[in-house]
Amino acid sequence: MPLTIETLNEQLSRPSQADIDFMRRLPGDFLVLGGGGKMGPSLARLARRATDAAGISRRVVAVSRGPDAERQRQFAEWGVESLSCDLLDRRQVERLPQCPNVLFLAGRKFGSTDNQPLTWATNALVPALAAERFERCRIVALSSGNVYPLAATPATEHTAPAPVGEYAQSVLARERIFEFYSARNGTPVTLVRLNYAIDARYGVLLDIGQRVWERRPVSLAMGRVNVIWQGDANSMCLRALDLANTPPFLLNVTGPEALEVRWIAERFGQALDRQPLWQGVEAETALLSDASLACRLLGPPRVGPEEMIEAIAGWIREGRPTLHKPTHFEVRDGRF
């Protein structure tokens, strides 16, 4: 059965038994900072559904700059509280409820080269304000695999950062800010280096699939990629609270496979009855992460590449809505 918006939202927030068991034994309310972004709504809903399934009473609060009326209605329908807050305003941040568990998703990437000061403020100043406000909480802070260098082999958590471009540098700044406050205040933190979480409305697979469907060339500049279904990324981010420590615990969250872009495009070509067109050639290096540690500690993703491609191909064929936010995964100079 083809995906719809309703079935997609349900899938992205469907708790596993591991999620339910985790929420049953973890005390305290949940605060999702950046709750109105790409991952925020489904992650907040996952926390709510896992809490309810565990038979626990707790608040789940999603914080965003200004959720629109439809988003507020949706949060209310899901049993998620929604609050409006400009996270760059210290006074507004100080008024946020003090919840023991904080999921920090706030960040800026798309169009980041258009306003570098805003990118740095969002990716470095906002973490500082949040870390000060929630110094006595347990925090999972979303980072990115973009902090790693382009390399022939996937980076592990022990690989030294070597961010390319200002966006990736600002993401490393976010990590350093959380490391500083964790050391100063003893705040337990998990830094989740995520790349590339996808659903049917955005992500690397959609970017490639749309190019195949529209008979536009697929760039091979970044010849291999990691992807993970957003529902799986949500589950791992939620349960990464269990790993929070000081100094912060580093965790790569992505799919276990390094997928060839050429293979992805060919699979979309089969599903969409299109012959892919190519642009450029594969470089020897790529931006890749090794997710072995996350798979060992939290379990492997439940949704594999073939299933993702099939679902997204159906979404493209049906002409369903997207977020119109290309990932620019093929960019090698860090200018997003």
Least confident of 62-66, 161-165, 184-188: 62-66
Task: Tell me the two tokens of residue 10.
Answer: 């349900």
Query: Count of domains in the chain?
Result: 1
Exposed e or buried b per residue across 261-288, where buried means at least 16 C-beta atoms within 10 angstroms of its C-beta? bbebbebbbebbebebeeeeeeeeebbb
Whether residue 149 is contained in a domain is answered as yes
The pLDDT score that the predictor gives to residue 68 is: 76
Local confidence band at 112 (pLDDT 50, 70, 90 cut-offs): low
What pLDDT is stored for residue 109 in this prediction? 78
Inter-CA distances, 119 with 41, 64, 124, Å: 22, 17, 8
Token pair for 232: 């799986």
Indicate whether 95 belongs to any domain: yes
Please tell me the distance from the alpha carbon of residue 94 to that of residue 112, in angstroms, as a whole number: 27
- Across the chain, mean pLDDT equals 95
The pTM assigned to this predicted structure is 0.95
- Grouping H, G, I as helix, E, B as strand and the rest as coil, residue 86 is coil
Please check whether residue 210 lies inside any domain of the structure. no
Q: What is the dihedral of CA 250, 253, 255, 259, to 10 degrees?
A: -70
Residue at 44: amino acid letter: A
Partners of 151 in beta bridges: 286
Tell whether 240 is covered by a domain.
yes
**Cβ(255)–Cβ(264) below 8 Å:** no
Residue 163 has pLDDT above 80, yes or no: yes
pLDDT band at 70 (very low <50, low <70, confident <90, very high): confident
- Supply the pLDDT for residue 181: 98
Q: Among 29-33, 63-67, 86-90, 118-122, which stretch is predicted with the lowest mean pLDDT?
A: 63-67
Q: 250 in a domain, yes or no? A: yes
| Per-residue pLDDT tens digits for 199-232 | 999 999 999 999 999 999 999 999 999 999 999 9
Give the per-residue pLDDT at 167: 93
pLDDT the model gives residue 115: 84
Specify the CATH number for the domain of residue 18.
3.40.50.720
User: Is the omega angle on the peptide bond into residue 67 within 30 degrees of 0, that is, cis?
Assistant: no
Q: Is residue 220 part of a domain?
A: no
Give me the phi and psi of 330, to 5 degrees please.
-80, -10
Average pLDDT over residues 236-248: 98
Question: Residue 67: its pLDDT value, please?
Answer: 65
Percentage of the chain beyond pLDDT 70 is 99
203 φ, ψ (degrees, to nearest 5): 120, 170
Cβ–Cβ < 8 Å for 212, 269: yes
Instruction: List, for residues 175-205, the tens digit of each pLDDT value.
Output: 999 999 999 999 999 999 999 999 999 999 9
Q: Is residue 331 part of a domain?
A: no
Residue 1 pLDDT greater than 70, yes or no: no
Name the region of 311 (left: φ>0; alpha: ψ -120 to 50; beta: rest).
alpha
Give 259-263 contacts, CB < 8 A, sequence gap 24+. Answer: 259/224, 259/225, 259/226, 259/227, 259/305, 260/223, 260/224, 261/208, 261/218, 261/219, 261/220, 261/222, 261/223, 261/224, 261/225, 262/218, 262/220, 262/223
Q: Residue 18: which domain range? A: 5-200+228-257+287-302
